[in-house]
Amino acid sequence: MSVHTSRRGEVTVDSLAAMKRDGRPIAAMTAYDASFARLLDEAGLDVVLVGDSLGMVIQGGSTTLPVTVDDMVYHARCVRAGLDRALLMVDLPFLSFSTPEVAVANAGRMLKEADAQMVKLEGGGAQVDTVARLTECGIPVCAHLGLKPQSVHKLGGYRMQGRDEASARAMLEDALALEAAGADLVLLECVPATLAEEVARNLRVPVIGIGSGSGCDGQILVLHDAIGVSARMPGFARDFLADAGSIHAAMTTYVADVRARRFPTGK
């Protein structure tokens, strides 16, 4: 019988919750391999996400939809090899959580084969039962609301979500329902800053934003956007490498700016 011991100083679900209670912003970033993961860990990132964004920035696709569970397990194992402190979160790719039991099987692979500490899945109220089942199985979950890249064809493109009163109210209700089902974290992508701030204020669990203003409990960016090598930079991103001199310095600046709420600027 083996006993798992936590790495010293390791970020956990509980420590992220404590950061929200203490008002200390959470700094997160994507990574897809061991070398960048090690660099992010050393720079002080709290959460490293193996995102299905790898379908675009690593595989060169136009969407995240072709990414497989095997792809995610492989890259998550690579990233785990580079981490010592940061919490490892992994996306469940398109159609890998179509039912609660399918989600449990695929999320279980992330934890068992890659030593992930949390999975992230896209979707609102329709995912309540899935989040509840994952929670029952002891699998930490991050719920992803707002712009959901896996639904790009249904949404008609990569657009800001929750701009009208009805959709904003529905998003807040979904966030509360997912929290009640057991979600440990909520990620908001491309929603109005005022709505993101309202969601963060009403939830007990941390709310991480991307393109959603400065009122969230933390921020996340795609690594390739943050170092200016993406083919198409989103308007909310910043090239932290431009004036930093090294990628390590760029990531250290990113962490400091998130902690001080200098990034993103304004609401």
- Residues taking part in catalysis: 189
Task: Give the C-alpha separation, 209 to 144, whole Å.
Answer: 10
Q: How far apart, in whole angstroms, are the C-alpha atoms of residue 240 and residue 261? A: 15
What is the spatial distance between Cα 199 and Cα 103, in angstroms, rounded to a whole number?
A: 25
Q: Which amino acid is at 262?
A: R
CB 24 within 8 A of CB 258: no
Rounded CA-CA distance 74/77 in Å is: 5
C-alpha span between 267 and 263 (Å, rounded): 10
Whether 257 contacts 218, CB under 8 Å:
no
